[in-house]
Amino acid sequence: MSHSLDVAAVKADFPILDREVHGGRLIYLDSANTSQKPRAVLAAMEHYYANSNANVHRGTYLIAEEATNALEEARAKVARFIGAPASQEVVFTKNATESLNLVAKAWGRANLRAGDVVVLTELEHHANIVPWHQLHDELGIELRWLPITADGHLDLTEVDRIIDGAKVVSFAATSNVLGTMLPVRRLVDAAHQAGAIAVVDASQHVPHAATNVAAWGADFVAFTGHKMLGPTGIGVLWGTSEILEATPPFLSGGEMILNVTKEGFTTNDIPWKFEAGTPAIAEAIGLGAAVDYLEGLGMDAVREHEVSLTGYALRTLAERFGEDLCVHGPADAAERGGVMSFTFKNLHPHDLTQVFDQHGVCVRAGHHCAKPLMRVLGVAATARASLYVYNDEADVDALADAIAAAADFFSF
Amino acid sequence: MPGLEDLYREIILDHYRSPRNRGELPVPPATRVEGFNPLCGDEIVIFLSVANGAVEDIRIGGQGCSISQSSASMMSAVVKDKTVAEVHRLTNAFKAMMSIHVGGDDHGDALPDPDVKLGDLEALQGVVKFPVRIKCATLSWNTLAQAIDEAMASEDP
Ligand SMILES: Cc1ncc(COP(=O)(O)O)c(C=O)c1O
């Protein structure tokens, strides 16, 4: 069932899009950084605090039971949304960074030794690099890097050779800089062929396209709530029951235990064994509401909208600025997410986005937490415009006008 | 609301378009130090030669935005032939203009000297109204301070 997105109706669901900045409309093109939140998410969190606020898994009274049910219901929604075979495979964390740290620090420390190989790609976010660097320093593991091609795709020619003998293959499903969508199933299979576990950083995928972790066949999948219309402070690590059972806890304290004595402790069942301390209850409920909202739109419609708007943006920028503007990454909108990193003439991205700000256009400038990729691209920084469900052609036109204004201002 | 003209004064754009003292110096005898702005990925490389307690020569490399590049360019022009003590006074005066409190450093001059003339560098005053850009403007100065420390350390027997 495919129905297209009514963007005007979607826009109306996001209160922040009504505000003015610098005397004009707010044009938000930084959703790869964090997304805006629909009224339904704000309402769900407020409703929880106003009606059922209590600690979870502890109270024996009505509102504590309501709070616990709401938290677990949110977990079930997330599980269904990503095609997880079981709810208890969904671990709530603070964000994708914590999810990836859990994999590296808890699974990695228990299973990796000096000389073991972890394979990453050149387009990873620092969240999927630095924890592994730490394991290199701590345990002496080695890192190998899957290269990218000049047009921003993953170079598949030597994948099997590079992965051969590895213990972990950890990669982004969609690049937060180039928008490149990686062949997840192909990489998972290659990892398993080599006897490695496959870890997918789906932070830029889950918000934008239908996701089925079981169909991917991965061992771990990490993503973050605030990029998918949910609040900050809530992230997810999905893992197969098998691998989660076999992984020792990461943080420890309350909630994650079955029993504690003076002599020691036994851990709780999954997923709670990974959720030490009072969880982000309201945030989890907010994430559940975000999932409801996205399901209401339909993830196929979301993806269709983004492909079409990305295509419009690539055409518009090419028509208006020609060779002066270079968009990194795949040229075909159908092969990418709605993330466009670009450089314009020899204007520095930071100067570009300063001018954009005066026009109400919110675009990120910098290295986007992917410095190794920046080096591969041969740039210090890019400007990055990213699209989501509430963006339309008028937003893209406003971006193009802001680029023209910057060119004018600096008269390059 | 501060406008773009407050930030991008003509002299800044001039230094950005034609940066002074771009290039490298042979290392050694010169000292090479890199500075990074973690916010935006700007990288600056300073090549510094210090002789008899004064800046004998300086070259700037790396890439960055107009604010960091022009600040580095103006800095390179103003510190040449200055003694290390004078450079410290300039640095303090510049940071004070950026609303950065410089007190209690180990060079004895906690308060910026009102007699220190910043010259062209005063064009960067507008940066204060755009707080995220202050790091861009101070990147080269922090890197220079490190270069001076390293150069002095290797000068002392
Ligand atoms: C691909 C990717 N991985 C990981 C992260 C980290 O997300 P968070 O900062 O929410 O932990 C991000 C977002 O910045 C991202 O784009």
Of A239, A263, A296, the domain-final residue: A296
How many whole angstroms from A141 Cα to the centroid of ligand 1?
Answer: 23
**Contacts of A242 by beta carbon, 8 Å cutoff, 6+ apart:** none
Q: What pLDDT sits at residue B101? A: 65
Q: How confident is the model at residue A59 (pLDDT cuts 50, 70, 90)?
A: confident
Least confident of A32-41, A55-64, B32-41, B136-145: B32-41
Residue A400 to residue A254: CA distance in whole angstroms:
52
Tell whether A137 is covered by a domain.
yes
Does the CB atom of residue A96 touch ligand 1 within 6 A?
A: yes
Euclidean distance between CA atoms A60 and B40, whole angstroms: 50
Return left, alpha or beta for A391; rule: phi > 0 is left, psi -120 to 50 is alpha, else beta: beta
Contacts with A411 (C-beta within 8 Å, 6 or more apart), sequence order: none
Residue A2 within a domain: no
Indicate if A311 and A280 belong to the same structural domain: no
Residues A394 and A271 in one domain: no
Question: Is residue A55 located within the same domain as residue A152?
Answer: yes
Q: What is the DSSP letter of B126?
A: G
Sequential pLDDT tens for chain B (157 residues): 678 888 898 888 889 889 999 999 998 899 999 999 877 778 899 999 999 899 999 999 988 899 999 999 999 999 999 999 999 989 988 998 888 766 544 444 445 566 778 888 888 988 988 888 899 999 999 999 999 999 888 775 5
Average pLDDT, chain A: 95
H or E segment to which residue A197 belongs:
strand A197-201
Is A186 found in the same domain as A93? yes
Predicted confidence (pLDDT) per residue in A366-397, tens digit:
889 998 998 899 888 899 999 999 999 999 99
What is the CA(A103)–ligand 1 centre distance, in A?
15
B27 touches chain A (CB under 8 A): no
- d(C-alpha A380, C-alpha B44), whole Å: 11
Nearest alpha-carbon partner for A20 in A360, A275, A408? A360
**Distance, in angstroms, between B45 CA and closest chain A CA?**
13
Interface predicted TM-score of the whole assembly (ipTM), two decimals: 0.80
Given a contact cutoff of 8 angstroms between Cβ atoms, the answer to whether A370 and A125 are in contact is yes
Nearest to A335, CA basis, from A356, A361, A306, A367: A306
* Domain finish residue from A268, A296, A324: A296
Q: Tell me the domain boundaries of chain B.
A: 2-155
Q: How many domains does chain A have?
A: 2
The topology (CATH level 3) of B2-155 is Sufe protein. Chain: A (3.90.1010)
pLDDT for res A107? 98
For residue A125, the CA-to-ligand 1 centroid distance in Å is 7
> A142-146 and A168-172: which strand pairing?
unpaired
Coil, strand or helix at B105: coil
Residue type, position A330, single letter = P
> At which of A260, A279, A296 does a domain end?
A296
Burial class (CB in 10 A: 0-12, 13-18, 19+), A20: exposed
Q: What is the CATH number of the domain that holds A382?
A: 3.90.1150.10
Q: Are residues A200 and A85 in the same domain?
A: yes
Is the distance from CB of A372 to CB of A122 less than 8 angstroms? yes
Please answer whether residues B80 and B55 qualify as being in contact, where contact means their C-beta atoms are separated by less than 8 angstroms.
Answer: yes
Catalytic (active site) residue A369: yes
User: Are both A230 and A348 inside the same structural domain?
Assistant: no
Name B91's Cβ contacts closer than 8 Å, sequence gap at least 6.
B102, B141, B144, B145
Average pLDDT of A233-260? 94
Residue A100 lies in a domain: yes
- Give the phi and the psi of residue A148 in degrees, each rounded to 5: -110, 160
> From the CA of A225, how many Å to the nearest CA of chain B?
23
The pTM assigned to this predicted structure is 0.92
Q: Is the peptide bond before A85 cis (omega within 30 degrees of 0)?
A: no
A144: exposed, middle or buried (Cβ count in 10 Å: 0-12, 13-18, 19+) = middle
pLDDT digits (tens, 9 = 90+) for A323-370: 999 999 999 999 999 999 999 998 999 999 999 999 999 999 988 999
Residue A390 forms part of a structural domain: yes
Q: Which domain holds residue A400?
A: 7-30+298-409
Task: Write the pLDDT tens digit of every residue in A253-264.
Answer: 888 888 899 899
Is residue B59 within 8 Å of B4, Cβ to Cβ?
no
In a domain, A35, yes or no: no
Sheet holding A382-386, edge to edge: A325-327, A339-344, A382-386, A364-366
Q: Is A224 in the pocket of ligand 1 (CB under 6 A)?
A: yes
> Can you read off the two tokens belonging to residue A375?
């080096």
CA–CA separation, A138 vs A390, rounded Å?
44
pLDDT tens, residue by residue, A282-322? 999 999 999 999 999 999 999 999 999 999 999 999 999 99
In terms of domains, do A197 and A240 share one?
Answer: yes
Mean pLDDT of A200-224: 98
Question: Could you give phi then psi for residue A37, rounded to 5 degrees?
Answer: -115, 130
Residue type, B91: T
∠ CA A17-A22-A25, rounded to 5°: 30
